[in-house]
Amino acid sequence: MNKSIISFDDAPEAERFFYGGNAGAKEAIIYDNAVWMIKYPKTTRDLVKPQISYTTSPLSEYLGTKIYESLGLPVHEVLLGVRKNKVVVACKDFTQSDVAPVKAKTLIPFHDLKNRFMANDLDEYSGTGSETFLDEVLATIEGEKNLKKVGGVLERFWDMFVVDAFIDNNDRNNGNWGLLEDNTTGKIELTPIYDNGNAFFNKKSLKQMQSRLENESWMQEDAYKSPTCVYKYRGLDSDSYKIHPFEFIRKGDNDDCTRAVSRFLKRLDMDKIRTLIHNIPKSTGSLSVMPHIQKEFYLELLKIRLEQLKLGVD
């Protein structure tokens, strides 16, 4: 096995740690005296004419998180590995104690904070914590008392908006970011950035990637023209419209977003990202990890998106 890929096959399961979400099977293990969540690739058998048997979401989680980390933003710790003959990502559980694998902090998703905040004005808001109307999300950030106590939440939101556009993580929903509360002291803080498994087209086949690399207009479509994010404009007659992040950024209508683009460009080191991608092995044993075509496709996407982000501050 490639030395940069860790075998988790001998790691025992961790009791009393359970994980939700719909991106694939998850389990808790004990590794290096700590609790880690193993995220498995999700089967594509329910998709129409799938090109691959399983998504590459564990690789996307690993790579997306490492790109966030390269920008100096706080992230959960991730390791790339193999378990049960699948390429997996291990994510260190940030709710556990620093000295023992037991729950020490409680995750409070933004979803729950938004739910409670909107109860203050039932006629004004949609009435659901899951709804991702941008105006409601920003109102919650500005007005929810716990978010106001922590500070820096608006900056974190727009940093995630920009980086998620760069890696095409189109599922930054209200359930995968929020606050952590210390179970002993009651202190609250922002969570590290986590749940990046929807980045980098995790359902595309190598054949599809190759065909796009050979067609400039298709690459532009994949890079910035077609992607949407989870956030929406409120439309007329109860309709809503998903935001195209690069179009939103180019318009420059939101100063906080524009400042986040400027921060991103100052922090970005493409040499680090190229090295990160090149250092991921092509395979481990009989399992494919990140073949050359996949690396080339991802790097070309990032190159095109970077040029588009630069337009957002011109």
Domains and CATH numbers, the chain: 6-311 (1.10.1070.20)
HSE value, Cβ hemisphere, 13 Å, CA-based, for 197: 23
Strands in 178-182's sheet, in edge-to-edge order, are 105-109, 178-182, 188-190
C-beta of residue 92 within 8 angstroms of C-beta of residue 11: no
Q: Is a pLDDT exceeding 50 seen at residue 47? A: no
Cα 228 from Cα 168, distance rounded (Å): 8
User: Rounded mean pLDDT of 128-139?
Assistant: 92
Position 50 scores a pLDDT of 47
pLDDT of residue 53: 47
Q: What is the mean pLDDT of residues 133-157?
A: 95
Q: What φ, ψ does residue 72 adopt, rounded to 5°?
A: 80, 15
pLDDT for residue 162 is more than 80 = yes
| Predicted model pTM | 0.93
192 by DSSP, 3-state: which? coil
Higher pLDDT, 4 or 237: 4
Q: Lowest mean pLDDT: which of 15-24, 114-123, 135-144, 256-265?
A: 15-24
For residue 22, the model assigns a pLDDT of 67
**Beta-carbon-side half-sphere exposure of residue 132 (alpha carbons within 13 Å):** 18
